[in-house]
Chain A
């Protein structure tokens, strides 16, 4: 492949020269993991089980809200294996049961029953269940061996063999239209009990025979106080059903008995019990939760009728049971010092760990130590989706930040210069105060530089004496500094749970994290970099706009992206719902870019809003425009800022919502540089690009989903004037549309319903062979519409996301980074998506290096930038320029996070990795000495000849 598209002849001489340094595009084996890293996540835990099968087991099994079943190493927190099921309700994990080596899972709302081998993570079997919504499942044991699993659906119960998943019997539940069956229980006898409830009327208990599914007993108990079995009823002791009356707080054992306890107003009491082994009855101790932070440990006496309170825990957030051998442990988490308290029936021990986030889930694993005492391990999941594994003395063994499984948005921020570099830079920033102090200042900074250099040398010397393995290059916030080519950056990631992370792009280590409390689960985030690290001594500044979808109110979180600390700058109060934000290239006296926030009355709030800024805004008001798109109304409107920071609507475009709805809009990235203003034709004339910085690509989809009438529309609208520059309608096409808008082109991908294939289409805009105005671009003065070229290609795979590479100066050719559902990230040269690709090859097109048009777009395996490091469920790709023109930093996020570098035009500005310095320098030295020697010899010879 040839580097940048087409260039003039003198430049191509350089290309020939540089092509001597060309590297292969694919990764070499020894480069694996050198510039890239991947982190795998699983998401928020729904079910967790410790492998208690063998004593020395290190396994931990999790089922998560991302439809993932995973196994962890409990010593290190590393992933052993992971099964990623379909996203969405089709793959939801309803329940995870663990028995011995088998992990049983009901998937997709009772659609499938799966059994996994916990050792290897392989699938033992999979059984398709009858339709009906899933209610409950449990293991069924017979004579101390667990052979079956019972699955309760809304209207049926079925029993399956544990070995092969075959159905033993299935029975319809009687009166399933009135009775809500919610629980299934087996205590090791010959019966399976199903519990159903008619809310506020009575409780139904049906006992099925294990052998053939016949109803042995059916009993109805009056329970007008009971509305749901799930949380208010548990089976305790030898088959005694314990229910709690939410209204009067009476505990009903069957038969009924009441107890005097107080419940917090408005709280639904919850019962917690434990059945250590499916073949045996549950233990007779149980917890009753009376308030958000109040639990009582109760015991059902042996007579089965009386309840004795054992201990009152207040405050206590979470309780959990765990059993090993004959011993059962209850764990209680008290909030005072975030203490995890252990209580083994009577004896108790206590240890603590600190956390600033409320933990909603607690899992305890008790195990017998070698000396027969009981040891504990605790897995805590906190509200910020972090999983913490704690060992007995309160030592945190590992922490996993599962919030990173759901990254919403991210930015890459340059690292600051080192202290010494900053010292030098600062010198130029300060005001000049006479010659002599300046000289002194210069000398002092030179001395500091010298000191730093000596310290560095000393460190090198010191580390050289250590054995090789011990030298660790640990990255900490203190040692962070920009590298020579700005290849290492700070990744600021915002996750759906409201937790912010600062990740070092080189190693992937989390350098800081900050949990924003009170963030709604459906909140919308917008991350804005207001000040970069370039303005020492002012710290860099990022602003996160958080908008609550329900109330529409927004708040700003201003922080330093390098250290994660909240800034002392007070963000403005935003009493009205915020519609959009707009970052201006205007800077205040502290070099922070001005952020405008538009509220629902189209009034504008500036942040920062100092006098200086307001004055600048007044001066520039007439050239500040913004647009708003209301997808639900099909409305695009443009506004102009007035001097008093109010706005006036200057244009409006309505796309009728009955026909089509706006799905996405994209302008150009503000940090994008276009080096070449045109394209060189075969006859060496120039076709100038239409580089409208105000151009918007608006994508619509038809509301009619019929394959014959469905269509996808792409509108190119000028955001200042509202003029529709071009519209492209793809008939018989359906979304989801993925698109990239950059330079003078838009690439979009859609599903062709007629040919049933994925297609890529590219639009390119050109001004023609003459530039209308080469010095300034104003949307208000553009009389001519651009020439639009379009071409479409067949793509052999569906895609999940798409982004274009970005480099410092925009000289390097562009590639499209395409995330595929397989988890691969494809680096597709933009060259292949060029509407000027000719159908018939001519002299000119060959001169231009245009590839002849072929409808099929190839996928070459060497284009996968992540080789076998697949990124599950790629949701977004972020690209950032580095200090090297050839290099673009790429972060792909989804379930996993993958960071790498790409070189779209190969590494033309870097020597090869395996460049033979030794050979070259030895040859140079050899030649140098040979010259010296031969010069001397020649002198001697000349002298001798002169004497003759």
Chain B
């Protein structure tokens, strides 16, 4: 929040004691010389520090600002949900073949919601000022969960999830044989 004029004492002047001191540091530009010399041709320096001749905007908290914050917070909360149609489109375009690009996309799709869910606390901080903070947080996490569900669905349709019996085939142990048998043609 901008606070115009709040920095009035920013320019430290040691001019008053210039004669008594051995040296002086003049931090404000132009003040080293006599003020009177340039008052006529250099208008800006005649104003105190922090002075602005433009009208200072009204900084008092108004109803519309409150709405803006709310809006901004909703933007944050709805972000993941808004990405879903886009993701759906990418999913459709990338197809179900297993090659490097669809795999990368699926990884991105799965990773981003997870990452977002991991950094939930940071997001909550953003939403701190909103009075619908909890609702927004819920929407935000639901959006992310939906995103990851979408990624899982994509994995499923690409056949990357071990949901079929064939995926567990390699772990079936050969059965133990109960009988010992041998023999052959009479030699």
Give A residues with C-beta under 8 Å from B: 8-13, 16, 524, 526, 545, 547, 554, 578-586, 596, 598, 620, 623-631, 662, 664-665, 667, 673-678, 680-681, 684-686, 691, 693-694, 719-720, 771, 773-780
Contact = CB atoms under 8 A, between A and B. Distances in A.
B146 to A, nearest CB: 25
Contacts of A777: 175-178
Nearest to A695: B181
Contacts of B179: 623-625, 694, 720, 778-780
Contacts of A13: 98
Closest 8 pairs (CB-CB, A-B): A582-B182, A778-B178, A626-B183, A684-B164, A627-B183, A680-B166, A777-B175, A9-B159
26 contacts: A9-B158, A9-B167, A10-B167, A12-B98, A578-B187, A581-B187, A596-B182, A598-B183, A627-B182, A629-B186, A631-B186, A665-B184, A667-B182, A675-B170, A678-B166, A678-B172, A684-B165, A684-B166, A694-B181, A720-B179, A773-B175, A775-B173, A776-B175, A778-B177, A778-B179, A780-B179
A674 B178 CA distance: 17
A545 B165 CA distance: 47
B69 to A, nearest CB: 38
A679 B165 CA distance: 11
A630 B25 CA distance: 121
Contacts of A677: 169, 172, 174
Of B169, B175, B186, which is in contact with the most chain A CB atoms at under 10 Å from its CB? Answer: B186
A452 B108 CA distance: 55
A626 B187 contact: no
B180 interface: yes
Contact of B181 (A10, A16, A626, A630): A626
Given A10-B162, A684-B159, A776 B178 contact: yes
Given A9-B98, A676-B169, A720 B181 contact: yes
Contact of A8 (B169, B174, B187): B169
Contacts of A681: 166
A540 B158 CA distance: 52
B160 interface: yes
Nearest to B185: A629
A780 B184 CA distance: 20
Given A684-B164, A694-B177, A776-B175, 14 more contacts: A12-B98, A580-B185, A581-B187, A583-B182, A584-B180, A596-B182, A623-B180, A627-B182, A629-B186, A665-B184, A685-B166, A720-B179, A771-B172, A775-B176
B176 A631 contact: no
Contacts of B167: 8-10, 684
Given A13-B98, A677-B169, A685-B165, A547 B187 contact: yes
Interface size class of B (residues with CB under 8 A): 20 to 34
B139 to A, nearest CB: 34
Interface string B8-49: 000000000000000000000000000000000000000000
B35 to A, nearest CB: 35
Nearest to B159: A9
Contacts of B181: 624-627, 667, 693-694, 719-720, 779
A664 B183 CA distance: 13
Given A583-B182, A623-B180, A777-B177, A680 B187 contact: no
A676 B180 contact: no
B169 A524 contact: no
B185 A678 contact: no
A545 B187 CA distance: 10
A398 B83 CA distance: 85
B16 to A, nearest CB: 36
B160 A691 contact: no
A219 to B, nearest CB: 56
A680 B167 CA distance: 9
Contacts of B162: 8, 10
Contacts of A675: 170
Contact of B183 (A582, A623, A673): A582
A62 to B, nearest CB: 33
Contacts of B180: 584-586, 620, 623-625
A579 B162 CA distance: 52
Nearest to B167: A8
B17 to A, nearest CB: 34
Contacts of B175: 691, 773-777
A665 B170 CA distance: 31
Contact of B186 (A545, A628, A691, A720): A628
Contact of B187 (A580, A586, A625, A774): A580
A686 B186 contact: no
Nearest to A776: B176
A720 B179 CA distance: 8
Contacts of B98: 9, 12-13, 16
A684 B163 CA distance: 9
Contacts of A694: 177, 179, 181
B186 to A, nearest CB: 5
B166 to A, nearest CB: 4
A580 B183 contact: yes
Given A8-B169, A12-B98, A13-B98, A629 B174 contact: no
Of B98, B175, B184, which is in contact with the most chain A CB atoms at under 10 Å from its CB? Answer: B184
B183 A628 contact: yes
A524 to B, nearest CB: 5
A571 to B, nearest CB: 16
A13 B178 CA distance: 37
Contacts of B184: 580, 627-629, 665, 667
Contacts of A684: 159, 164-167
A526 B179 CA distance: 23
Contact of B169 (A554, A664, A678): A678
B97 to A, nearest CB: 11
A686 B169 contact: yes
Of B169, B176, B183, which is in contact with the most chain A CB atoms at under 10 Å from its CB? Answer: B183
B147 to A, nearest CB: 23
Given A10-B167, A685-B166, A674 B182 contact: no
A630 B182 CA distance: 15
A673 B174 CA distance: 9
Contacts of A678: 166, 169, 172
Contact of B166 (A8, A547, A580, A623): A8
Nearest to A525: B187
